[in-house]
Chains A and B, each alone.
Chain A
């Protein structure tokens, strides 16, 4: 992708961490290689140079260690070890402390699925990130342990059940970068998210706006159905007439509702809106007033969508089977 790449060792530099991580590697690698070649080279040389010759005694004297050379050799070793520790330290500490203003994406995984939850509440099954600003990934698993690695960003982190682990990076180039994830297991394995897509900030913003607009490409009733699942109405309201915590949505719209204190009301748009925003104003007979308020979570347009959805589930629906308003 046109970014710097010194050799076959590393993938491209696509995050601000890459240069730091790679440079430490190359420094240590070159020094280590030289020491290795020196040691093995000397061993080979000595073996040939000091071959046993006829006339050599049965045992040769033990000789001694060259103290100066040993001192220098050990000092060099300590310096190398010290460098290995110190050189990576700054980057390491950086990588464990995400910047304050990071763009946070919550990642949850379970068998066969990865959920990427963006700050606005939008949940996708692909990972897209904006370039030019720090991105924080908060990871957790609902079943087994996994690893998530994004080599081009030079990050990898464990994804553990019962814990939230974090990793962060700042992408510098837009592009598609492989993600390796998953677990070594014969019973459970995932449909891996194979790539992370980095987009320039404006592109990212417009993608997120388009993707998180639930009205785009859906009829009002479909949006209502979506909200029925996404907002958790499903847990308390069935669609088939059976009684859960709350009354079923089947044939609700257009019928009469009776409250615990004997009042009756026709279920229309106004009633639904009231039920959703202040559920305890009218508690339906035979039920407890346990429904939470959705005030602040559902705006008028979304409530309209729910109304449309309820209409579509009822034989008394005034608008008949779903119509786009």
Chain B
């Protein structure tokens, strides 16, 4: 506090952060920047919770202890549920989407500010119900909640399902808000193809959020009804394939393609650190739209080897392989942006490299899983679950951290310590690959994804992987500590450190309540 200059304190008071304070001040706020910060806090809390759950069996296993199987399944179930539903899907739109959309479009706020707040509140309600179900009586069906198992589980399943319903509604509201804001909140002179790529990513992903949110909310309600009556669409008599189809059809697009907003963020970021506009703007837009289409068209690929008939398997394999085309276009455009740029090696750049590596691995693994004969062998192994980890821990996390390190000075008006952030990036990237590669290998060796605890014969892999997780955790700890510390001890940030041309860099750091009023 002491070493911040007087003008910095003034800047803070004039900014959105200086508005009505206290719990109620934040709770009632419909300002998009405040909603974004609250999303950051809630998603971070959820992620830490999932991390702690993930640590428990790991520590026990390495310590030679033995977890009771029942508890282990419950821990793993909640860890994945929190990670996917409470973090992976909402985090990029919630934090970077809400923060950047109006700023980059030149708007004062989201087009539907009350809906922003409602999205956040639904998300929080959903998360709290999910945790409540864990406290009341946890379920252990795995995060895909197979319908027959759901009928048998003694746990507080209904509470969980209502929680998931709220989360899905929150996704839908977020999507609607994004789409409306893009259509109606844009500055008059800004055409569709003048919009920054982050906005495009959020806009395209918004449609997936609406689609998945609406369908999954309905699915969660139907499941609740089936669970209460044990009949109906997902009841005891129903074919388990019905639930599997609905579940993957609604969840897979929004979860496995949570990388789409990441692509938008990274495109702006790579332009920013290279100090030039992207040479393949329309290609990137087209790629993101194609990815969203393929997200839905390929969703059944998750069912290969899980009871899907051979004909349909081939159709979904085909659509899944088409993902390679937009992915290759995106990679090429990014490399072309970097080539002969004027690049600042900042922490954001290192996290961007992490995204490139992890998303590349995830796409490559997706290619292997979509190859017909391999897919039916690997599709239900640890290989598949490691691919989800590469998307979740690798892609979405790297995009979030890259974006945060790029826009953090704008968000809080303070600079973090670059060296510490670089250290965090290196620990995170090295650790994550150390943690996941052994699991990929266990997968090709045939260990199924529902293998619980230590699988005999794979002790070495489990140990390397455990070490990797420890490094990831310490990397994330360093990163988070550095960002948080900057709020108190960082020096004041410039308005436009990158010489970038997008609108968010024209407002003060941190921006005032109405963004462009000043």
Within A62-88, the residues touching B (CB, 8 Å) are 62-66, 69-70, 73-74, 76-78, 80-81, 84-85, 87-88
Within B307-355, the residues touching A (CB, 8 Å) are 307, 310, 313-314, 317-318, 321-322, 324-325, 328-329, 331-336, 338-345, 349, 353
Task: Provide the bound-state CA to CA distance between A158 and B308, in Å.
Answer: 9
Whether A81 pairs with B357 at a CB distance below 8 angstroms is no
Whether A24 pairs with B342 at a CB distance below 8 angstroms is no
Judge if B66 is at the interface, Cβ distance under 8 Å. Answer: no
Task: Provide the bound-state CA to CA distance between A92 and B279, in Å.
Answer: 41
Judge if A147 is at the interface, Cβ distance under 8 Å. Answer: yes
Contact A43-B149, Cβ < 8 Å, known A60-B341, A81-B325: no
Binds A, one of B106-114, B189-197, B363-371: B363-371
Whether A10 pairs with B73 at a CB distance below 8 angstroms is no
Tally the A-B contacts, defined by beta carbons under 8 Å.
259
Complex contacts, A44 vs chain B, CB 8 Å: 353
Instruction: Choose from A8, A25, A73 the contact partner of B368 (Cβ within 8 Å).
Output: A25
Complex contacts, B342 vs chain A, CB 8 Å: 50, 52-53, 56-57, 60
- Among B154, B331, B333, B356, chain A packs the most CB atoms within 10 A around the CB of B331
Instruction: Choose from A65, A155, A162 the contact partner of B377 (Cβ within 8 Å).
Output: A155
Interface string of B440-474 (1 = CB under 8 A from A): 01001111101110000000000000000000000
Q: 6 tightest CB-CB pairs across the interface, nearest first?
A: A151-B446, A186-B140, A92-B372, A184-B450, A91-B373, A88-B373
A interface residues (Cβ-Cβ under 8 A, vs B): 8-11, 17, 20-21, 24-25, 28-29, 32-33, 35-36, 39-40, 42-44, 46-48, 50-53, 56-66, 69-70, 73-74, 76-78, 80-81, 84-85, 87-93, 95-96, 143-145, 147, 149-152, 154-158, 160-163, 165, 178, 180, 182-189
Contact A186-B371, Cβ < 8 Å, known A63-B339, A151-B446, A157-B305: no
Interface string of B142-155 (1 = CB under 8 A from A): 10001011001110
Identify the closest chain B residue to A48 (Cβ): B345
Whether B305 pairs with A156 at a CB distance below 8 angstroms is yes
Identify the closest chain B residue to A42 (Cβ): B335
Task: Provide the bound-state CA to CA distance between A163 and B70, in Å.
Answer: 28
Whether B306 pairs with A158 at a CB distance below 8 angstroms is yes
Q: How far is the CB of B26 from chain A (nearest CB, A)?
A: 37
Whether B276 pairs with A186 at a CB distance below 8 angstroms is no
Whether A43 pairs with B333 at a CB distance below 8 angstroms is no
Whether A40 pairs with B343 at a CB distance below 8 angstroms is no
Task: Provide the bound-state CA to CA distance between A53 and B275, in Å.
Answer: 12
Complex contacts, B278 vs chain A, CB 8 Å: 62
Task: Provide the bound-state CA to CA distance between A39 and B353, in Å.
Answer: 10
Whether B441 pairs with A9 at a CB distance below 8 angstroms is yes
**How many residues on chain B are close to A (CB under 8 Å)?**
86
Q: How far is the CB of B312 from chain A (nearest CB, A)?
A: 12
Task: Provide the bound-state CA to CA distance between A187 and B137, in Å.
Answer: 13
Whether B356 pairs with A158 at a CB distance below 8 angstroms is no
Whether A186 pairs with B373 at a CB distance below 8 angstroms is no
Complex contacts, B154 vs chain A, CB 8 Å: 187
Q: How far is the CB of B333 from chain A (nearest CB, A)?
A: 7
Task: Provide the bound-state CA to CA distance between A80 and B239, in Å.
Answer: 37
Contact A50-B343, Cβ < 8 Å, known A91-B372, A149-B380: yes
Judge if B136 is at the interface, Cβ distance under 8 Å. Answer: no
A-B contact pairs, 8 of them (CB 8 A): A47-B338, A56-B342, A60-B341, A74-B332, A156-B376, A156-B448, A187-B140, A187-B149
Complex contacts, A151 vs chain B, CB 8 Å: 445-447
Whether A36 pairs with B364 at a CB distance below 8 angstroms is yes
Whether B450 pairs with A32 at a CB distance below 8 angstroms is no
Whether A50 pairs with B372 at a CB distance below 8 angstroms is no
Task: Provide the bound-state CA to CA distance between A64 and B333, in Å.
Answer: 9
Complex contacts, B240 vs chain A, CB 8 Å: 144-145, 160-162
Judge if B374 is at the interface, Cβ distance under 8 Å. Answer: yes
Identify the closest chain A residue to B332 (Cβ): A73
